[in-house]
Structure 1
Amino acid sequence: MLLLYMTVSCVLLGSSAGIQYEEVCYGGNFRLPFDYTPPVFNGQLYFTPSDGGSRRIVMDNGKAQDPRFKVSIGSVQFTDLRERDDGAFSVSFDGNRIFDVISLKILDCVDEIRRNYGDAYRHDVPRQAEYLEFTPLRALDQTKVLWNRTDPQTNRRGRGPVKRNMLEIIGLTQADSGYYNFRKKDNTLLSRILLAVEGTYRRYDATVSKRLFIKNPTAADSWTVTLTPEGETEPRRLINAGQLEWSMSKLFARRITLLRDGIEIYPVESIDSGTFEFRDPQGNLAQTVQVEVVYESAPTFVYVGVGVGIVFAVIFCCCCVRKCCCKKSSSKRNESAPQTAAAPAVYYHDENQPTGPSYSGTHASNYSYQPMNPLVSREPATTSLGPPVYNPVNIHVNPPQPEVAAPGGLGAAPSLSLGSDCHSSDPEPKFELKGLAFPSAPPLSSDSAFCDVYTSDKLNFL
């Protein structure tokens, strides 16, 4: 009674501490904790697979209910673990309440080896190995023995015969992909290998209107070839067991030729881009071919010549533009050069001077000037904006002269026409007063309409 109480207490304490997680490699053995071994534990031990299988009892009252459980005093061992042994252990004392206590995970501790279609595979057989079993990837639930050391008849049925302690498989296909397990006579796993066979891959860059040759995976001529055009997802059967499909003959009308060692397409068209797959009569993928069709490009020297021509054209254009710009700027500078401002014409009126116009052909004039009394005033008689009216009478204004001799023998400035625009950039009108001792009044307006300077000797009465 005391022993049962201690057992229940230990199990309950262990379950309250949480589930124990364990990991074991495929083909290995798992030893249960001491708390679940007789005589400490004499209850019911259950196992529930993780793949959705039903719960089953594996040990009851210290006796094993599964042949792979080895029970002894103080030890319970679960042997030769497989994928189906991945799951959870639970216990029950009264047959009603069940507690999960152990979670067991089976790891695929395997040496993975990859080979291409048609290659060969060789592997040394361990000395302690008694037989070799094979599980294909296509059917993991179908395990068969390929070799048995004590049964030569089994070796004749195997895919890969063992000779002189060496496994050799020639001409691999996807059918040879799977797990190879070497075991002892007591079924203990010695070595585990995963062999994966893949189809070969090739790529061809074809040119429009050129010839394309696609080589077969091997010398066999009975391939079934499918084509998945570029941009599509559904494959089309091009060749069936070495014969061209009639439905595809329109696409490759008189452009495809089946040879013993491959397929020839001539001339190539842009619609030939896509993925070709070669399969043997058993449906194994032997080869995948990617075809990319491009248009023929020009030779390299053509691109070089075009590039050089573009460079020279750019340089020539730059030189022309620069030359034109230089000409335009030079012309603008000549047109915009400042001209010598013409001084306002000075007119002199003398009562002894004839009323007719007097012209001088040169700056050095013989016309003489006799000084008179200074002017009394140069102010206009009215404040109107029109031409100023002078009080002195008998004022004679000489007509505009191209050149007039300046007083004192000085050279006269170029004369301006009375009809010129007074609002132009020429100097404003000036009135020179001779012999005037007091400052003159400013003009009524800066917008005076007179542009010339008038001088009269008759105003010299002061």
Structure 2
Amino acid sequence: MLPLLFTIVSCVLFGSSAGIDSEEVCYGSTFRLPFEYTPPVFRGRLYFTPSNGGSRRVVMDNGEAKAPRIKVSYGSVQFTDLHKKDDGTFSVSFDGNRLIDVITLKILDCAEDDIENYGDFYNCAVPRQTEYVEFTPLHNLDETKILWNRTDPQTNKRGRGQVRYNTLELESVTQADSGYYNFRRKDNTLLSRKRLTVQENKSYNEAKVNEQLVIRNRFSGALWSVTFTPKGETEPITLINAGMLVEDEDWSLSLPFSGRISVVHSNIEINPVESSDSGLFEFRDSQGNLVHTAEVKVQYASAPTFVYIAIVVGIIFGGIVCCCCVRKCCCKKSSSKRDEPAPQAAAAPVVHYHDKSQPTHPSYSHARAPDYTHQPMNPLVYREPATTSLGPPVAAPGGLRAAPALSLNSDCLSSDPEPKFELKGLTFPSAPPLSSDFAVCHVYTSDKLNFP
């Protein structure tokens, strides 16, 4: 009757649970199984499969614990002081063959983070109920040792740290001190947890080609080893080993700093700097701990300030000279254009008509105004004291302008045709026209002008 009742209750309990429960707990804490997997409700086998790939094992069978950190009581199953290796899956079996995954347990790292640089002083508060302090290095989580024990002074002398006035003190920390510090009670219950990370000191250095570079290291008196990784590469080159420069006759010439590097008071001096010196320098102590990393970036040396000033002044001066030259050339061209004489039409030859038949309509030609500034004056000619006539200026042949002259031999007083008075027996011939067109002089005869 009881087996049948157990089977019915189990089916109801497991049937009501859909899927797998996921639980997350902090490192060092306690995990309690759900009620349906505790005695007297559950009397089967409880299995655990670690997530790190370990083998499956039985942790409880018929209400009996099969692991040292499992506490089984009536109506309660507890897993105490959980570690990272307790991360995994719990399974149950009803008939001894078929397994059903019921719980997935994930261990969280809930430690408080502390970060220090190489060589710094580290201290942290110790809870009053702490019985001992244990240390687990980061690089080996399976290795745990006691640093300090309240009731065992001999352990305190052998430990790395010292507890003074409820404070844990570590002097000149290195990467070897990086790890977890657990503070526990006498019953091994975890009170608090610290995670210390020690990192290297870092510096950034800018250098110029053909100048001197000093990479400073604030730690002295140690047998440092220095490597150099050129920029863009991954393989480091050893420059200093145990405080001594690496010198090998077979390949020393291939070293990037051959003949240019020296060690002065734990500092590295490079003189002169070359463009290929850009990269990362790493300092390590005798235990291989990373002490200091120095990033170097090489730049080409810039010219002095006065050189740039001289260049700017030269550019400005050259611009001014060019502007003056262009302006002078433009002025020359404009003045030469003003000095050139304007082209003049050639003077038409003088034409005299002796035929009686003349065209009835004269043609007109407008001549350029005469220039009297450079031409000599022709003498006045007197034909008759009573009557004189001012003749118009006549252009001289060959492009020269003739000076105005008083002459009685002009046929017309202007270029326009006008009536002409003629004395009987005496005729004034007309002046030649100023253009190549035909010019007509009209003759008017009057008896009133006949003198006795």
Cα distance change on mapping 1:192 and 1:315 into 2, 3 Å: farther
> Does the alignment pair 1:69 with 2:93?
no
Shift of residue 321, structure 1, vs aligned partner: 3.6
Shift of residue 200, structure 1, vs aligned partner: 0.8
Cα distance change on mapping 1:341 and 1:262 into 2, 3 Å: same
Alignment of 1:368-387 (within 5 A): 368=411
Instruction: Say which SS state the counterpart of residue 206 (structure 1) adopts.
Output: strand
Shift of residue 253, structure 1, vs aligned partner: 4.6
> Does the alignment pair 1:227 with 2:228?
yes
Paired residue for 2:288, among 257, 261, 283?
Answer: 283
CA distance in 1, matches of 2:53, 2:258: 55
CA distance in 1, matches of 2:118, 2:431: 116
Cα distance change on mapping 1:411 and 1:172 into 2, 3 Å: farther
Alignment correspondent of 2:216: 215
Instruction: Say which SS state the counterpart of residue 119 (structure 2) adopts.
Output: coil
Paired residue for 1:415, among 402, 418, 435?
Answer: 435
CA distance in 2, matches of 1:412, 1:25: 133
Shift of residue 143, structure 1, vs aligned partner: 1.2
CA distance in 2, matches of 1:9, 1:341: 133
Report which stretch shifted further, 107-116 or 222-231.
222-231
Paired residue for 1:317, among 322, 338, 341?
Answer: 322
Alignment correspondent of 1:297: 302
Cα distance change on mapping 1:320 and 1:189 into 2, 3 Å: farther
Cα distance change on mapping 1:71 and 1:326 into 2, 3 Å: farther
Task: Note the residue ranges of structure 1 that are not aligned, 5 or more in a row.
Answer: 370-403, 417-451, 458-462
Alignment correspondent of 1:267: 272
Instruction: Say which SS state the counterpart of residue 141 (structure 1) adopts.
Output: coil
Cα distance change on mapping 1:344 and 1:215 into 2, 3 Å: same
Alignment correspondent of 2:52: 51
Alignment correspondent of 1:362: 394
Alignment correspondent of 1:434: none
Instruction: Say which SS state the counterpart of residue 19 (structure 2) adopts.
Output: coil
Counterpart of 2:355, as a letter, is E
Post-superposition CA distance 1:132-188 (Å, at most 9, x none): 111111212111111111111111221112233221111111111111111111111
Alignment correspondent of 1:10: 13
Alignment correspondent of 1:306: 311
CA distance in 2, matches of 1:97, 1:345: 141
Shift of residue 210, structure 1, vs aligned partner: 3.2
Alignment correspondent of 2:154: 153
Alignment correspondent of 2:401: none
Does the CA contact (< 8 Å) of 1:24 and 1:105 recur in 2? Answer: yes
CA distance in 2, matches of 1:411, 1:97: 149
Cα distance change on mapping 1:5 and 1:253 into 2, 3 Å: closer
Shift of residue 412, structure 1, vs aligned partner: 8.7
Instruction: Say which SS state the counterpart of residue 362 (structure 1) adopts.
Output: coil
Cα distance change on mapping 1:319 and 1:56 into 2, 3 Å: farther
Alignment of 1:419-430 (within 5 A): none
Cα distance change on mapping 1:207 and 1:2 into 2, 3 Å: same
> Does the alignment pair 1:131 with 2:151?
no
**Equivalent residues, number:** 382
Shift of residue 241, structure 1, vs aligned partner: 0.6
Alignment correspondent of 1:419: none
Shift of residue 326, structure 1, vs aligned partner: 6.4
Counterpart of 2:5, as a letter, is L
Alignment of 1:312-461 (within 5 A): 312-318=317-323, 320-321=325-326, 324-325=329-330, 351-352=355-356, 362=394, 368=411, 405-408=415-418, 415=435
Cα distance change on mapping 1:414 and 1:229 into 2, 3 Å: farther
Does the CA contact (< 8 Å) of 1:128 and 1:184 recur in 2? Answer: yes
- C-alpha RMSD of the superposition: 3.6
**TM-score using structure 1 length:** 0.72
Cα distance change on mapping 1:162 and 1:453 into 2, 3 Å: farther
Shift of residue 330, structure 1, vs aligned partner: 7.5
Report which stretch shifted further, 69-78 or 138-147.
69-78
Instruction: Say which SS state the counterpart of residue 129 (structure 1) adopts.
Output: coil
Instruction: Say which SS state the counterpart of residue 25 (structure 2) adopts.
Output: strand
Cα distance change on mapping 1:338 and 1:270 into 2, 3 Å: same
Shift of residue 117, structure 1, vs aligned partner: 0.8
CA distance in 1, matches of 2:439, 2:104: 129
Percent identity over paired residues: 58
Does the CA contact (< 8 Å) of 2:136 and 2:181 recur in 1? Answer: yes
Does the CA contact (< 8 Å) of 1:206 and 1:212 recur in 2? Answer: yes
